[in-house]
Amino acid sequence: MDIQNKLFDLEGTVQPYQWGGFTYIPTLLSREVKAGQPSAEYWLGAHVQAPSIVNGEAKLDALLQQHPQLLGAAVQSTFGRLPYLLKVLDVKDMLSIQVHPTRENAKKGYAAENAAGVALTASNRNYKDDNHKPELAYALGEFWLLHGFREAASLKEVLAARSELQFLLEVFAESEYAKLYRTVMEMPDDEVAAHLQPLLDRILPAYHAGSLVKSNPDFWAARAAITYNQPGRIDRGIFSIYLLNLVEMKKGQAIFQDAGVLHAYLEGQNVEIMANSDNVLRGGLTPKHVDVPELMKHVRFEPCVPELLEGRDVQPFEKAFITPADDFELHLLELPAAAGLQLTTDTTDIILVLEGELEICEQGTGYSQNMSRGQSVLLTAGASVKISTAGGCQAFRATVPAAAK
């Protein structure tokens, strides 16, 4: 493939996870809706599980291995690969309670499971790769999630308001987060049922009657029971719905989730950028493998005040969402009708159009592409492009922070 140009067409992969919606991502991508098949995530990046296709012919991971100079010298030296993964998510059913390891712990865990002979595809595999997975989520509309432990006063208030959960007040005492979480995660199944069944017997009728609001944890606990409980088994992840912050994000807001922060997406659509990893340690609300001892090694047992990010101006029509992660940075490009902006890259960037249409033109060569909703392009290191739009557009730019370049 000719790599003299620095602007390429890019096609991602749709992941049909069971919790996904059925229409949002196919509509975004102008694809046929497949009956009965969910479209949960759209991946754009070089992850080995689902690398994007460049110009309809080359896998992005292989292309960057063959031509690492496309990453730019600094990113090539620091990471040796494309360090981020860009996604669009459509969350119909809540995702598992989960936490991600630090980079150091991911390397240790990955090496240990390899040494133990655990297959990468094994259902009990905890570490799919050797990387951490901090992530930033940008809400495309109303979006609900759980994020970090509640502050002590709030947590006590939630438990005290529900007679079925008041037994946990003594366990939590003043601020015994680790003891509290260990108690609910290691509790025998029959005790889980003894505590949660009376709660569910009370809140499920209210949920079915439509009298619970989404700002009430009972709403999500009831929905979790309907989604994940099996005959004779109540999912203990329901406890976490009451222990973690319940967050409503509005369109245009973003949130960062670092290693160790328990979280779960509950409902809505978002654009997500993360380190190039698929390492997830689960804590319930899932039929998948839950390794409690391994999970407990990585959780931050401390209160968390969710911080919603609004973005900082980089130049007219471009905002950046700044996080502590050195692997990625998400930029929002919002151009009104007849507007334009210049971009230069010193690493491999991905641009995804969410609304409207734009033209992106490579300076010097004159090579250009017209892009509409759902289309994406790859810009390699050293690209200089002009973006223009006749009727206005919204697009996202995935890149690497200047500090890591």
Q: Could you give the CA distance from residue 53 to residue 62 in angstroms, rounded to a whole number?
A: 10
Contact between 337 and 355 under an 8 Å Cβ cutoff? The reply is no
Contact between 62 and 34 under an 8 Å Cβ cutoff? The reply is no
Output the pLDDT for position 35. 85
Output the pLDDT for position 291. 92
Q: Could you give the CA distance from residue 166 to residue 144 in angstroms, rounded to a whole number?
A: 26
In Å, how far are 128, 130, 276 from 48, measured between CA atoms? 10, 12, 9
Output the pLDDT for position 287. 87
Question: For the chain, which residues make up each domain, given as ranges?
Answer: 13-145+248-282, 146-247, 330-404
Q: Could you give the CA distance from residue 372 to residue 129 in angstroms, rounded to a whole number?
A: 34
Q: On the CB side of 321, how many CA atoms lie within 13 Å of its CA?
A: 29
Output the pLDDT for position 4. 84
Q: Could you give the CA distance from residue 14 to residue 29 in angstroms, rounded to a whole number?
A: 10
One digit per residue, the tens of pLDDT, for the chain of length 405 reads: 778 889 999 999 999 999 999 999 999 999 998 888 999 999 999 998 899 999 999 999 999 999 999 999 999 999 999 999 999 999 999 999 999 999 999 999 999 999 999 999 899 999 989 999 999 999 999 999 999 999 999 999 999 999 999 999 999 999 999 999 999 999 999 999 999 999 999 999 999 999 999 999 999 999 999 999 999 899 999 999 999 999 999 999 999 999 999 999 999 999 999 999 989 999 998 888 899 999 999 999 999 999 999 999 999 999 999 999 999 999 999 999 999 999 999 999 999 999 999 999 999 888 999 999 999 999 999 999 999 999 999 999 999 997 444
Q: Does domain 330-404 have CATH number 2.60.120.10?
A: yes
Tokens 């990955």 sit at which residue? 110
Q: Which of 150, 223, 236, 282 is catalytic?
A: 282
Q: Could you give the CA distance from residue 370 to residue 75 in angstroms, rounded to a whole number?
A: 28
Of how many residues is the chain composed?
405
**Which backbone phi and psi does 243 adopt, to 5 degrees?**
-90, -25
Output the pLDDT for position 61. 96
Work out the angle at residue 88's Cα, subtended by the Cα atoms of residues 402 and 235, and round it to the nearest 5 degrees: 115
Note the CATH architecture for domain 13-145+248-282. Answer: Sandwich (2.60)
Contact between 368 and 359 under an 8 Å Cβ cutoff? The reply is yes
Contact between 237 and 283 under an 8 Å Cβ cutoff? The reply is yes
The widest CA-to-CA distance across the chain, in whole angstroms, is 70
Contact between 393 and 318 under an 8 Å Cβ cutoff? The reply is no
Matching CATH topology for 13-145+248-282 and 330-404? yes
- Short-list 344, 405, 342, 348, CA closest to 381: 348
Tokens 């619970």 sit at which residue? 212
Q: Could you give the CA distance from residue 102 to residue 223 in angstroms, rounded to a whole number?
A: 31
Output the pLDDT for position 391. 97
**pTM to 2 decimals?**
0.95
**Catalytic residue flag (residue 223):** no
